[in-house]
Amino acid sequence: MIGLIAKKVGMTQVFDESGNLVPVTVIHVEPNTVVSLKKEETAGYDAVVLGLEDIKASRTSKPYAGQFPEGIAPKRHLKEFRDFDREVAVGDQIGVELFESTRFLDVTATSKGKGFQGVMKRWGFHGGRASHGSKFHREAGGTGNSTTPGHCFKNIKMPGRMGRERVTVQNLKIQKIDPELKVVMVRGAVPGNKDCTLIIKSAVKKEF
């Protein structure tokens, strides 16, 4: 498995090799810095810790700044990737060229928050009749039970806060990679708003 920390730029559309117009999400991948390596002998598993976006040491706590080796500035974003398939060393810079032999990606991010929503928007309920005189337009309907058991069951779909959850979209096809612009274009949409932080990995359900 390989992966990087990236930023979402937005969506656009491009022509593929067959001349078809396809929607793509533009992902900006600044070079990630290898902050540390974890080994089976010491940590119990193999992993690579990558960092992105420098911050001032004065803006961090001493415990947080202490995990960065000498010569590497503290990073705003840190992510641990287990079973990394590339040989790397602490201090290395890994860019978008990491995915040159990869065809599909899994993208993880925090989805957009929608606030408090009703059951029609949140769960896709059809609602009641829209005709004149109806008093059951967008309500959820009955959620309770009779005297037995006398309470609502758990996991009943109800109104509530929607979005702002950790979401992973799998098997997104890489449409184009531009090392000069440090950009990856993937077919389709990815979660999150513009300029949000993404975790992009090689797809686990499809071959490279």
Cβ neighbours of residue 122 closer than 8 Å, sequence gap 6 or more: 114, 157, 159, 160, 162
Please tell me the total count of domains within the chain: 2
Residue 206: per-residue pLDDT: 84
Is 62 within the bounds of a domain? yes
CATH number at residue 179: 2.40.30.10
Global model pTM greater than 0.85: yes
The series of mean pLDDT values per 10 residues for the chain, 208 residues long, is: 95 94 97 94 93 92 91 94 92 93 95 97 95 94 87 93 97 95 96 96 84
Residue 208: per-residue pLDDT: 53
For 140, the domain range is 114-163
